[in-house]
């Protein structure tokens, strides 16, 4: 039995709430240098109430072949993955700004 979306009341197969939420958000990608000269890619600006950041982090980690985590409503990826992360987010329907 299919589930029902809590926001729109449609069956999960017909629900477009996730797609609308993706289009309305702008993800900002930047790179920081951390301890011992390690680079970390930061993805921020995505509202975690409409999007599961853990699932998005899992997709990004797989695409970038790196480790990462979700901290304080941001996704942190180990290494400099600005271009790959931007490409994956754009393919998934997000607006992306690379700094």
pLDDT per position as a tens digit, 25-78: 788 999 999 999 999 999 998 887 777 889 999 999 999 999 999 999 999 999
Q: Residue 88's domain is classified under what CATH number?
A: 3.30.780.10
Domain assignment of residue 94, given as a range:
26-98
Report the domain count for the chain. Answer: 1
Q: What is the reported pLDDT for 2?
A: 66
| CA 94 to chain centroid | 8
Average of per-residue pLDDT across 16-20: 72
Residue 21 lies in a domain: no
Q: What is the reported pLDDT for 46?
A: 87
Residue 80 lies in a domain: yes
The residue that leads in pLDDT, 52 or 84, is 84
Query: Whose CA is closest to 5, among 23, 24, 18?
Result: 18
The pTM of this model reads 0.77
């Amino acid at each position: 039995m299919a589930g029902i979306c809590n926001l729109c009341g449609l069956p999960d197969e017909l629900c477009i709430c996730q797609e609308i939420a993706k289009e309305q958000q702008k993800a900002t990608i930047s790179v920081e240098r951390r301890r011992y000269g390690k680079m970390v890619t930061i993805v921020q600006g995505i509202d975690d109430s409409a999007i599961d950041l853990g699932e998005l982090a899992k997709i990004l980690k797989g695409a970038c072949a790196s480790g990462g985590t979700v901290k304080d409503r941001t996704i942190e990826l180990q290494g400099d993955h600005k271009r790959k992360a931007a490409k994956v987010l754009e393919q998934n329907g997000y607006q992306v700004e690379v700094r």
